């Protein structure tokens, strides 16, 4: 690290965010001969270091002998000021070298509100923001992660995007960079490299596509340039057992959001909840074996000394061998004083057995997501959770000695009425009643039910991609309606600022024209937008006005069935026809079965991996 940074680091909060040097961080010698890659997480260290994907890709790349992968995170404003005031550059934590000196920089696009952090990090790293301004001597800037399925709003800033699982794809790209002699800056032919890269399945080179628009601002066509594929297919890893499992990776010194051993039970989700993007873009379901999961987690706990292990997936209780897995893991965890954490539990797949294994010693609270209050609304979103599932689960939880329950709901869902909103309050009250019906409840301890309400944001590649998002006024009205409907002190309610959801909605279904808005917002000082204390909606509003772009066009507009979407040239597996069928079923409040009980021919079986597929769907 530069002495200039070091001498001033005591003036910032949590300086350990900026020093690297953790156990498990990788420092390689002979750096001039290595391909230098910097994995950038566009939020602060505390968030980024909790991200499983970082650990995996950091491990994969550093396994490669001629590659050195480092990390960088968005600085907190005090550190940003330190860097700017002293003319210093954002650097890779391992070497302390400025981002501008790397051969390639990879950002993970986890959520739309991190987009300004990307620009800020590039700027602080001395890297030109626009891909068109970067020459062969600048680092290549690569995007990965879920938002790549519609990265159009940030298309101008990236040289390429990687769609799908990165464990094999990223090493292939890095190998291609080496083949093109990227380190020989004087002779590296960036255009030739990008055209070659575009031939690899899962690679999207935005500059190879031209978008034309209709007079009403909708998209007329997306045209691939010569040599680029018309559609970009998502890369997937078929066998999770054979897939590379990384070493524990850097073990943070400071307390980050999640500092624990973690691994995936499966990728994809069999459910098909209609609001959920992850449930659609990661299909098909691919499970990992019990033995492999145990091996990975136990190994990680041993090597990193973690006191907690977590099973990660979109719906842990849907794992086919969950009982067997919990039995094996909890045996080991108990005798080694490790806590077992099982997030993403479903209301309808809950048992006292699971409760016992995850409860540990402190019985504070359990969290579930019914998502909607009324049965009609839950049918519209295809949550497939009934009120009796809910009642049964509450009974198990309270009989297990818990006194707290956290329930997540969404408001602003398609076709929602005021009755659907007040039904949320009624469902929460039901939980309170169940608590007091339990004769064995802890005496003298009141129940506390927390209702967490988020604003629904329609996402690409979901059946609701055609749907209008509620306006700000409408959301505020519904929030007030809910608060007024909540009875008594036993139920508390927390909800998010609806302006962040509005912005998220614009970028989720946005197109390329939004790059200039993001640039303008960045110039106006917008950053760390996911942090309430830093989010400045008024600056965003002026950035939109200045760019002559209307947020409502992206948010509150119901799209016609035949509209060409900005993301139509991306192919995640699930077909647009299936999504439309699901949209129409939603409008009739009709549910669909999950993939294990009946194949809906969503299109994801083109990889031939679905166990219950009805028939092969042609790509």
Give the footprint of other proteins on this chain (CB under 8 A): 1, 6-7, 9-10, 15-16, 18-23, 251, 253-255, 301-307, 337, 361-362
Per-residue HEC secondary structure of 452-472 comes to: EEEECCCCCCCHHHHCCCCCH
Q: Tell me, what DSSP letter sits at residue 8?
A: H
Distance, in Å, from the CA atom of 176 to the CA atom of 178, rounded to the nearest integer, reads 5
Name the helix (H) or strand (E) containing 220. strand 219-224
CB nearer to other proteins: give 361 or 561. 361
Q: How far is CA 159 from the centre of its chain?
A: 21
Q: How far is the CB of 250 from other proteins (least distance, A)?
A: 10
* Under 8 Å between Cβ of 153 and 119: no
Q: How far is the CB of 260 from other proteins (least distance, A)?
A: 11
Nearest Cα to Cα of residue 129 among 138, 48, 114, 101: 138
Q: How far is the CB of 402 from other proteins (least distance, A)?
A: 15
**Residue 115: strand, helix, or coil:** helix
Q: How many CB atoms lie within 10 A of CB 359?
A: 18
Distance, in Å, from the CA atom of 120 to the CA atom of 125, rounded to the nearest integer, reads 8
Nearest Cα to Cα of residue 422 among 381, 388, 373: 373
Beta strands 404-411 and 365-371, pairing class: parallel
How buried is residue 568: exposed, middle or buried, by Cβ count under 10 Å (0-12/13-18/19+)?
Answer: middle
Residue 191 gets the label, from left (phi > 0), alpha (psi -120 to 50) or beta, of: alpha
Q: How many CB atoms lie within 10 A of CB 591?
A: 17
CB nearer to other proteins: give 152 or 300. 300
Q: How far is the CB of 15 from other proteins (least distance, A)?
A: 4
CB nearer to other proteins: give 15 or 171. 15
* Under 8 Å between Cβ of 505 and 458: yes
CB nearer to other proteins: give 11 or 187. 11
CB nearer to other proteins: give 10 or 561. 10
Distance, in Å, from the CA atom of 516 to the CA atom of 43, rounded to the nearest integer, reads 21
**Residue 219: strand, helix, or coil:** strand
Q: How far is the CB of 494 from other proteins (least distance, A)?
A: 26
Distances from the Cα of 513 to the Cα of 145, 212, 479, 568, angstroms: 21, 11, 32, 16
Distances from the Cα of 537 to the Cα of 413, 504, 551, angstroms: 23, 12, 12
Q: How far is the CB of 334 from other proteins (least distance, A)?
A: 12
Q: How far is the CB of 126 from other proteins (least distance, A)?
A: 22
CB nearer to other proteins: give 336 or 352. 336
Q: How many CB atoms lie within 10 A of CB 38?
A: 29
Q: How far is the CB of 468 from other proteins (least distance, A)?
A: 48
Q: How far is the CB of 54 from other proteins (least distance, A)?
A: 19
CB nearer to other proteins: give 255 or 473. 255
* Under 8 Å between Cβ of 146 and 108: no
* Under 8 Å between Cβ of 189 and 136: yes
Kindly state the tokens that stand for 157: 């800033």
Nearest Cα to Cα of residue 588 among 372, 270, 348, 274: 274
Dihedral angle sign, alpha carbons of residues 364, 369, 370, 373: positive
Q: How far is the CB of 55 from other proteins (least distance, A)?
A: 16
CB nearer to other proteins: give 20 or 268. 20
CB nearer to other proteins: give 251 or 294. 251
CB nearer to other proteins: give 109 or 338. 338
CB nearer to other proteins: give 93 or 197. 93
Q: How far is the CB of 44 from other proteins (least distance, A)?
A: 16
CB nearer to other proteins: give 169 or 304. 304
Q: How far is the CB of 254 from other proteins (least distance, A)?
A: 6
* Under 8 Å between Cβ of 131 and 138: no
Q: How far is the CB of 440 from other proteins (least distance, A)?
A: 21
Kindly state the tokens that stand for 598: 């009946």
Buried b (16+ CB within 10 A) or exposed e, 422-444: bbbbebbbbbbebbeeeeebeee
265 φ, ψ (degrees, to nearest 5): -75, -45
How buried is residue 226: exposed, middle or buried, by Cβ count under 10 Å (0-12/13-18/19+)?
Answer: exposed
Q: How far is the CB of 94 from other proteins (least distance, A)?
A: 12
Nearest Cα to Cα of residue 202 among 237, 171, 162, 154: 162
Q: How far is the CB of 321 from other proteins (least distance, A)?
A: 28
CB nearer to other proteins: give 334 or 616. 334
């Amino acid at each position: 690290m530069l002495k200039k940074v070091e001498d001033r680091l005591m003036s910032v909060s949590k300086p350990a965010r900026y020093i690297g040097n953790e156990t498990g961080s990788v420092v390689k010698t002979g750096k001039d001969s290595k391909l230098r890659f910097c994995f950038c997480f566009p939020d602060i260290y505390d968030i980024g270091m909790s991200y499983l994907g970082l650990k995996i890709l950091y491990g994969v790349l550093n396994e490669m002998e001629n590659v050195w992968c480092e990390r960088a995170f968005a600085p907190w404003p005090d550190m940003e000021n330190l860097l700017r005031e002293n003319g210093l550059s954002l650097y890779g934590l391992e070497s302390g070298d400025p981002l501008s000196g790397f051969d390639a920089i990879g950002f993970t696009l986890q959520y739309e509100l991190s987009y300004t952090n990307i620009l800020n990090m590039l700027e602080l790293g001395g890297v030109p923001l626009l891909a068109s301004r970067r020459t062969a001597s600048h680092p290549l800037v690569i995007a990965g992660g879920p938002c790549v399925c519609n990265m159009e709003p940030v298309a101008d800033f990236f040289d390429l995007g990687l769609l799908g699982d990165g464990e094999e794809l990223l090493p292939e790209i890095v190998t291609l960079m080496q083949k093109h002699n990227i380190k020989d800056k004087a002779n590296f032919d960036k255009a030739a490299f990008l055209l070659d890269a575009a031939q690899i399945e899962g690679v999207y080179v935005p500059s190879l596509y031209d978008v034309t628009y209709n007079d009403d601002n909708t998209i007329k066509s997306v045209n691939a340039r010569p040599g680029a594929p018309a559609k970009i297919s998502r890369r997937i890893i078929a066998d999770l057992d054979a897939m590379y499992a990384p070493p524990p990776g850097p073990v943070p010194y400071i307390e980050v959001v999640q500092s624990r051993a973690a691994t995936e039970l499966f990728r994809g989700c069999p459910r098909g909840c209609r609001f959920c993007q992850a449930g659609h873009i990661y299909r098909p379901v691919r499970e990992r074996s019990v033995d492999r999961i145990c091996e990975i987690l136990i190994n990680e706990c041993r090597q990193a000394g973690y006191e907690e292990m977590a099973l990660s997936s979109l719906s842990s209780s849907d794992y086919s061998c969950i009982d067997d897995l919990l039995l094996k893991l909890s045996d080991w965890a108990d005798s080694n004083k490790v806590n077992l954490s099982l997030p993403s539990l479903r209301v309808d797949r809950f048992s006292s057995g699971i409760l016992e294994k995850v409860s540990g010693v402190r019985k504070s609270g359990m969290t579930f997501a019914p998502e909607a209050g009324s049965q009609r609304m839950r049918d519209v979103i295809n949550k497939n959770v009934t009120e009796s599932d809910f009642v049964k689960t509450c009974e198990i939880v309270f009989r297990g000695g818990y006194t707290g329950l956290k329930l997540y709901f969404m408001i602003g869902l398609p076709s929602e009425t005021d009755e659907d909103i007040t039904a949320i309050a009624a469902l929460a009250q039901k939980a309170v009643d169940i608590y007091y019906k339990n004769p064995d409840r802890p005496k003298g301890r009141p129940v506390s039910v927390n209702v967490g309400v988020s604003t629904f944001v329609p996402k690409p590649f979901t059946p609701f991609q055609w749907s209008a998002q509620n306006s700000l006024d409408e959301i505020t009205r519904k929030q007030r309606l809910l608060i007024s409907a909540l009875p008594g002190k036993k139920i508390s309610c927390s909800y998010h600022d609806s302006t962040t959801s509005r912005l998220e909605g614009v970028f989720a279904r946005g197109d390329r024209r939004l790059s200039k808005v993001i640039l303008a917002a960045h110039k106006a000082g917008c950053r760390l937008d996911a942090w309430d204390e830093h989010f400045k909606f008024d600056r965003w509003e002026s950035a939109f006005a200045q760019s002559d772009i209307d947020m409502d066009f992206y948010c509150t507009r119901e799209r016609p069935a035949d509209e060409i979407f900005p993301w139509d040239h991306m192919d995640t597996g699930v077909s647009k026809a299936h999504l439309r069928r699901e949209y129409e079923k939603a409008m009739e409040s009709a549910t669909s079965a999950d993939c294990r009980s009946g194949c809906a021919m969503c299109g994801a079986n083109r990889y031939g991996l679905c166990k219950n597929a009805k028939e092969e769907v042609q790509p």
